[in-house]
Amino acid sequence: MHLAYPAVLSALLFCTGLYGVLARRNAILVLMSVELMLNAVNLNLVAFDVWLSRTAEETLHSGQALTLFTIAIAAAEIGIGLAIVLAVYRNRGTSDIDKLRDTVEGHEPDGDASDSDASATRATAEKAEATA
Amino acid sequence: MTTTTLAVLVPLLPFLGALTGLLLGRTAPGFVRPLAVLPTLASLVLAAVVAARQGGDAAVDAATELTPTGSVPIELALHIDGFAALTAVLVGAVATCVQIYSTGYLRDDPRYPSYAALVSLFTSAMLLVVYSGDLMVLLVGWEIMGICSYFLVGHYWETPEARAASLKAFLVTKLGDVPFLIGLFALATDAGSFRITRILGAVANGGIEHPTLIALLLLAGVAGKSAQFPLHTWLPDAMAGPTPVSALIHAATMVAAGVYFIARLLPLFEASQAAMVVLAVMAAVTMTGSALAALAQDDIKRVLAYSTIGQLGYMTGALAVADRGAAVFHLLSHGAFKALLFLAAGVIIHAAGTNSLAAMSRMSNLRGRVPDAYWTMTVALLALAAIPPFSGFFSKEAVLGVAEHVVTGHTAHAPAAAGWIVLLAGLLTALLTAAYAMRLWLLAFHGHGTEAPDHGRQPLTMTVVLWVLAVPSLALGGFAFRALPGWFDGHDLTPTLTTSVLGTGVALVGGIVTYGAWRHTTAHAARIPLGAVAAHPEGDAGQVEAEAIASHEPAYGDIAYAPDPSDPGRLLLGPLHRHAAAGFHLDAVYSALFVRPVRAGASLVRFLDREVVETYVRGAGTLPRWLGAAVRRAQTGNLQTYVSALLAGTVVLAVAAVLVATGA
Amino acid sequence: MTPAAAAGTAAHATTTAAAEAQGFLSPTGVEIAFLLVGLVTFGAALITVTTRQLVHAALWLVVALGGLAVEYLLLTAEFIAWVQVLIYVGSVVVLLLFGLMLTRAPIGRSPDADSGNRWVALTVAVAAAAALVWVVVDAFRTTWIDLDGAPAGSTEVTGASLFQHWVLPFEALSVLLLAALVGAIVLSRKAKAATSAAAPSAPGGTDTRRDTEGAR
């Protein structure tokens, strides 16, 4: 098999994931896109490992080992990422990335207002959660 | 101790007193008065001992070079001849009197510690000038006096007059000091030394190449310090300071320094005929102009200030006819009676609650309130008017006699023109001096009207000092004119018959004419009420004086002038009175010539800075500000935007790297 | 747009890179299978990042990840393939669905699934894809993988290499996972006032732990 096939597929998947990271509004969808990018890298690693193990008689299988590591790290990352998203959601009442703009330039006076808004929504959210 | 050690201690003791006074003034107020009086008194005693040991013999010279200072060495040098020894005694005596008087005068002043320390420093600087044998060291004392006068004249800095006067005193004297410094450098370059003895040696050998230039440059500094025309305008305004400071400045220290400086370097000035004529013209203009102005002043202290300028004119006149003996003789006697005049004026101001002669002429029995001031001031005014046998007569006759000596053909040292100028101006001024002395005496002590306010008994420290100073005012001249030539250059100081008769005659004429005018005008006095009186029976004299100075302008419309038709000066001067009261508008001339162009230039510079320079600066700032605004717009707070920009940059860089690597 | 452009570029690149020993015009069966599955995977990924229904995005992600597992199989890396199915399809997607539910993601079409950054993102992604595909094709158009013989990624081979050469990193990774576990718990706990409500998110962390452990 031509190495170009998996390599090109990997590149396309990576860029798809890239688009998702840049364009999606919901934080969980962004995490999904990150998974896509990681998988694109994994595909690259596997393909090159297979190629090298045949042509260069390489027995270390570093590509496959790294793939396994990447999968494990991706799992950890998704766990942590979701925990962060949940914490943000609880605090802010939203998981939309483009609403998390506390670092915007000229953010002094409306910061308090939005904070109080957020705490109000958080209070209602918690109440809803408790009743549910 | 050797004479040198004693002489070193003379300026050093008040200096140390000033230092400790400044350090301990707040922490140990009990020590302030002893620290002010005792070092000055000690230096007076030491100066007297030095004078006794020197005794008018060969000058005591001592020098030590602390460190090499380039091409022209600067040495800590003493040069004590008869002039220095006697002037130092005068300085010490007046300073001691002023210090003692101040303890009473500024009894309750919260700033007394710093005041006393500055007076001590002032005294120390003057003594340094007197004893110094090195012109650079002399300049140090000279400049310390300038800064001390600034602080002391501005002692009542709460009043705007005092602030303006202190600044004016400082700036005007500095205006003279700049050419003075240049003159010193030129002199040292020509002579190769700052030592007075070597410079005089170089003058004797004809080693000075530009005597006229140097003499005129030095003359500018002297005019500033000794308040000679045209740099005299600071002195009348300096009356905004406390009276003891005026006494100190006028009698012994600051203004005397200029005359003393010329006396020391007189051979240098003699080397230039032009300088001598300039000096004579300066003296003549100064003495007649100031005498006319004194006749029109309303403030008692300003009368005395103008009289000081006039008497200094006599001294410079004596120097212009190349007799420093007569000049320093007049310096000594004038120091005594002028200190007395000022200190007595301080008592009168305290008792009357005003510094205005017009207001005093509407008070009766002022002399009954302050008998000490009345009698001592009468003595001092007689001395000022040069009535025999008071000391002023002998010293003034010495000056006139020398001028006559030159006029009659003894022109070895001075040009005959200088002699004529000094003689005629001196006689005219003698007339005017007697007139304004008479006017002052009549207006202050022979007023009619309401009873003078009661300020209680004057402090003993103030009245005793007056009597102490009355003794030399009365007797110094008569006893000294025979002894002094031995101390000085040996010129005879005995009054000559012609000038004595002439001088005393015109003085009597001036006095009698003024008396007549006063008799004529005083009838009006009761009809026109005038005056403002600051009454503080509890307050010390300094407080009364500060209020009197501050209220003079609001009460009378001018700091120097009062619209008083009963003033004999108004009758005598006629249309000239208005101009004389304003000091012949010299301040207005200066304002037109210097102040306004400088202000216009400053506003031009300000305009250029604001409108032109700053436009460029603002323009330079605009581009970065726009860039900053653009960059700030990019700070949306949206992470995705940031990552997009980051990745776009990465892509561009990667493509560029690939293109470079493949050589495309 | 994105798929069309990217595919066009890719097709152009592949056609120009033909005429070698094993030409692109005469594909083997494995290649055809790879290409087809790859197209499905790519399409599913595209739908994942563009769909307006959030839950559908997660489901399409399952398709894309499953397709990748098939690709691994075609590349003879069977162990990786099964791990992929287990972890990604089995746990990660489940976690993501949990997250969607916990954050009350709307069911059905949400009109604002994409942010205003879309066009910039599209430009960057297309540019990156063009650059990557160009470079990759330019570099590897003649490279051939020989897939005959013993599989390169059987469980035996992978296990041998993992526990002979990669033991230390493997153990270090377990520490990392522990840290992630603790971190996830700490992060997902609510503030002290609402400790009782911390229950729903806690299983997420333990799930991760269990799944990753299971993956080994």
Cβ of residue A126 closer than 8 Å to a chain B Cβ: no
Between C10 and B449, the higher pLDDT residue? B449
CATH top-level class of C2-149: mainly alpha
DSSP letter string, C131-173: HHHHHHHHHHTT-B----SS-TT-HHHHHHHHHHHSHHHHHHH
Mean pLDDT of B542-554: 71
Mean pLDDT of C118-132: 90
What are B19-36's pLDDT values in tens digits? 888 888 778 778 888 888
- Shortest Cα distance, chain B CAs vs residue A61, angstroms: 28
Q: How many CA atoms lie within 13 A of B476 on its CB side?
A: 26
CB pairs under 8 A between A and C: 305
Instruction: Please tell me the predicted confidence (pLDDT) of residue B555.
Output: 67
Q: 3-state SS of B357-383? A: HHHHCCEECHHHHCHHHHHHHHHHHHH
SS3 B514: helix
Element (H, E) at B11: helix B3-24
Question: Rounded to whole angstroms, how far apart are CA atoms B382 and B397?
Answer: 14
Cβ of residue A102 closer than 8 Å to a chain B Cβ: yes
Phi and psi at A100, nearest 5°, equal: -90, 80
A contact residues 51-70, partner B, Cβ 8 Å cutoff: none
- Shortest Cα distance, chain B CAs vs residue C179, angstroms: 26
Average confidence score pLDDT of chain C: 78
- Shortest Cα distance, chain C CAs vs residue B659, angstroms: 10
C160, amino acid identity: A
What tokens were used for B99? 């210090």
Mean pLDDT of B221-246: 84
When CB atoms are compared, the residue of B635, B640, B643 closest to A104 is B635
Contact A98 B640 (CB under 8 A): yes
Pairing of β B363-364 and β B450-451: parallel
C contact residues 2-41, partner A, Cβ 8 Å cutoff: 2, 6, 10, 13-14, 17, 22, 24, 28, 30-31, 34-35, 38, 41
Domain residues of chain C, as ranges? 2-149, 166-216
Count of positions (residues) in chain A: 132
Mean pLDDT of B242-267: 85
Pair B166, B157: CB distance under 8 Å: yes
Residue C114's DSSP bridge partners are: A24
Mean pLDDT of C195-215: 44
Cβ of residue B64 closer than 8 Å to a chain A Cβ: no
Element (H, E) at B63: strand B60-64
B206 Cβ partners below 8 Å, 6+ apart? none
The sign of the torsion formed by the CA atoms of A124, A126, A128, A130 equals negative
Token pair 């005429």 in the structure block, residue: C19
What are A92-116's pLDDT values in tens digits? 888 888 788 877 776 554 444 444 4
Confidence of residue B537 (pLDDT cuts 50, 70, 90): low
Average confidence score pLDDT of chain B: 83
- Shortest Cα distance, chain C CAs vs residue B654, angstroms: 8
Instruction: Find which of C59, C84, C93, C103 to mutate to test the A interface (most A CBs within 10 Å of its CB).
Output: C103
Q: Which residue of A has its CA nearest to B630?
A: A105
Pair B250, B108: CB distance under 8 Å: no
Share of chain B above pLDDT 90, in %: 6
Spacing of C-alpha B419 from chain mean position: 27
Nearest Cα neighbor of B155 from B239, B92, B93, B95 is B239
For residue A43, the chain C residues in CB contact (below 8 A) are 68, 71-72
Nearest Cα neighbor of B236 from B543, B582, B596 is B582
Cβ of residue B646 closer than 8 Å to a chain C Cβ: no
Q: Which of B378-392, B550-564, C50-64, C98-112 has the lowest mean pLDDT?
A: B550-564
Q: Which residue of C has its CA nearest to B654?
A: C131
Nearest Cα neighbor of C42 from A129, A11, B2 is A11
Instruction: Please tell me the predicted confidence (pLDDT) of residue A116.
Output: 46
B contact residues 253-292, partner C, Cβ 8 Å cutoff: none
Contact B644 C128 (CB under 8 A): no
Instruction: Please tell me the predicted confidence (pLDDT) of residue C129.
Output: 93
Highest mean pLDDT among A4-18, B176-190, B236-250: A4-18
When CB atoms are compared, the residue of C49, C194, C215 closest to A20 is C49
Q: Which of B17-21, B297-301, B485-489 has the lowest mean pLDDT?
A: B485-489
Between A15 and C20, the higher pLDDT residue? A15
Instruction: Please tell me the predicted confidence (pLDDT) of residue C127.
Output: 92
Q: For residue C168, give Cα distances in angstroms to A74, B300, C80, C162, C163.
A: 19, 106, 20, 10, 9
Instruction: Please tell me the predicted confidence (pLDDT) of residue B528.
Output: 62
What are B79-92's pLDDT values in tens digits? 888 888 888 888 99
B262, amino acid identity: I
Q: Which of B310-314, B316-320, C6-10, C12-16 has the lowest mean pLDDT?
A: C12-16
Burial label, B635 (beta-carbon count in 10 A; 0-12, 13-18, 19+): middle
B645, amino acid identity: A
- Shortest Cα distance, chain B CAs vs residue C183, angstroms: 23
**C10 pLDDT more than 60:** no
Phi and psi at C94, nearest 5°, equal: -65, -45
A contact residues 27-86, partner C, Cβ 8 Å cutoff: 27-29, 31-33, 35-36, 39, 42-43, 46-47, 49-51, 53-55, 59-62, 64-65, 67-69, 71-80, 82-86
Identify how many contiguous H helices and E strands chain B contains and give both numbers.
29, 4
Contact B651 C123 (CB under 8 A): no
Mean pLDDT of C110-136: 86
What are B117-159's pLDDT values in tens digits? 889 999 999 999 988 888 888 888 888 988 888 888 888 888 8
The DSSP call for residue A59 is -
Instruction: Render the burial of C49-88: b for 16+ CB within 10 Å, e for the rest.
Output: bbbebbbebbebbbbbbbbbbbbbbbbbbbbbbebbbbbb
Contact A86 C201 (CB under 8 A): yes
Spacing of C-alpha B165 from chain mean position: 11
A45, amino acid identity: L
When CB atoms are compared, the residue of C48, C96, C212 closest to A76 is C212
What are B444-455's pLDDT values in tens digits? 888 777 777 766
Q: Which residue of A has its CA nearest to C213?
A: A72
- Shortest Cα distance, chain C CAs vs residue A104, angstroms: 16
Question: Rounded to whole angstroms, how far apart are CA atoms B294 and B159?
Answer: 24
The CA-CA-CA angle for residues B377, B380, B383, to 5°, reads: 150
Confidence of residue B561 (pLDDT cuts 50, 70, 90): low
Element (H, E) at B286: helix B273-296
Q: How many CA atoms lie within 13 A of B650 on its CB side?
A: 12
Q: Which of A80-94, B606-620, C195-209 has the lowest mean pLDDT?
A: C195-209
Token pair 């009368």 in the structure block, residue: B303
Q: How many CA atoms lie within 13 A of B120 on its CB side?
A: 31
As a whole number of Å, the CA-based R_g of chain B is: 30
Contact B638 C117 (CB under 8 A): yes
What are A28-45's pLDDT values in tens digits? 889 999 999 999 999 999
Instruction: Render the burial of B100-117: b for 16+ CB within 10 Å, e for the rest.
Output: bbbbbbbbebeebbbbbb
For residue A106, the chain B residues in CB contact (below 8 A) are 632
C contact residues 136-175, partner A, Cβ 8 Å cutoff: 136-137, 140-141, 143-147, 149, 152-153, 157-158, 161-162, 165-166, 169-170, 173
**C117 pLDDT more than 70:** yes
B contact residues 618-637, partner A, Cβ 8 Å cutoff: 632-633, 635-637
Question: Rounded to whole angstroms, how far apart are CA atoms B631 and B629?
Answer: 5
What angle, 0 to 180 degrees and rounded to 10, lies between the N-to-C axes of helices C93-102 and A62-92? 10
SS3 B356: strand
B233, amino acid identity: T
Instruction: Please tell me the predicted confidence (pLDDT) of residue C6.
Output: 47
Identify how many contiguous H helices and E strands chain C contains and give both numbers.
9, 0
- Shortest Cα distance, chain C CAs vs residue B611, angstroms: 46
Q: For residue A61, give Cα distances in angstroms to A5, B420, B664.
A: 21, 124, 36
Average confidence score pLDDT of chain A: 80
Confidence of residue C211 (pLDDT cuts 50, 70, 90): very low
Nearest Cα neighbor of B61 from B102, B118, B7 is B7
What tokens were used for B129? 């000038």
- Shortest Cα distance, chain C CAs vs residue A112, angstroms: 20
User: Partners for B (CB, 8 Å, 3+ pairs)?
Assistant: A, C
Pair B249, B91: CB distance under 8 Å: no
For residue C194, the chain A residues in CB contact (below 8 A) are 126
**B629 pLDDT more than 50:** yes
CB pairs under 8 A between A and B: 31
Pair B344, B376: CB distance under 8 Å: yes
ipTM: 0.76
Confidence of residue B503 (pLDDT cuts 50, 70, 90): confident
The most distant pair of C-alpha atoms in chain B lies apart, rounded to whole Å, by 120
**B385 pLDDT more than 90:** no
Mean pLDDT of B181-203: 86
Contact A101 B647 (CB under 8 A): no
Instruction: Please tell me the predicted confidence (pLDDT) of residue B253.
Output: 80
Cβ-based neighbour number of residue B167 at 10 Å = 15
Question: Rounded to whole angstroms, how far apart are CA atoms A89 and C124?
Answer: 29
What angle, 0 to 180 degrees and rounded to 10, lies between the N-to-C axes of helices C118-140 and A4-23? 170
Question: Rounded to whole angstroms, how far apart are CA atoms B355 and B38?
Answer: 31
**A9 pLDDT more than 90:** yes
**B303 pLDDT more than 60:** yes
Residue B134's DSSP bridge partners are: B195
Between C213 and B395, the higher pLDDT residue? B395
Between C8 and B72, the higher pLDDT residue? B72
Element (H, E) at C121: helix C118-140
Alpha helices by DSSP H, listed for B321-459, are 324-352, 357-360, 366-369, 371-384, 391-407, 416-445
Instruction: Please tell me the predicted confidence (pLDDT) of residue B601.
Output: 93
What are B194-231's pLDDT values in tens digits? 888 888 888 888 777 888 888 888 888 888 888 888 88
B contact residues 175-194, partner A, Cβ 8 Å cutoff: none
C contact residues 104-123, partner A, Cβ 8 Å cutoff: 105, 112-118, 120-122
Confidence of residue B67 (pLDDT cuts 50, 70, 90): confident
Share of chain B above pLDDT 70, in %: 93
Nearest Cα neighbor of B303 from B441, B451, B143 is B441
What are C66-93's pLDDT values in tens digits? 999 999 999 888 899 999 999 888 888 8
What tokens were used for B493? 């100081």
Cβ-based neighbour number of residue B158 at 10 Å = 10
Token pair 């030394």 in the structure block, residue: B193
Instruction: Please tell me the predicted confidence (pLDDT) of residue C199.
Output: 43
Contact C124 B651 (CB under 8 A): yes
Residue A26's DSSP bridge partners are: A96
For residue C177, the chain A residues in CB contact (below 8 A) are 72, 75-76
Instruction: Please tell me the predicted confidence (pLDDT) of residue C41.
Output: 94
Token pair 């002590």 in the structure block, residue: B445
For residue C146, the chain A residues in CB contact (below 8 A) are 54-55
CATH placement of domain A4-100: 1.10.287.3510
Contact C80 A19 (CB under 8 A): no
Contact C30 A54 (CB under 8 A): no
- Shortest Cα distance, chain B CAs vs residue A97, angstroms: 7
Count of positions (residues) in chain C: 216
Contact B647 C135 (CB under 8 A): no
Pair B374, B445: CB distance under 8 Å: yes
Cβ of residue B644 closer than 8 Å to a chain C Cβ: yes
Q: Which residue of B has its CA nearest to A102?
A: B637
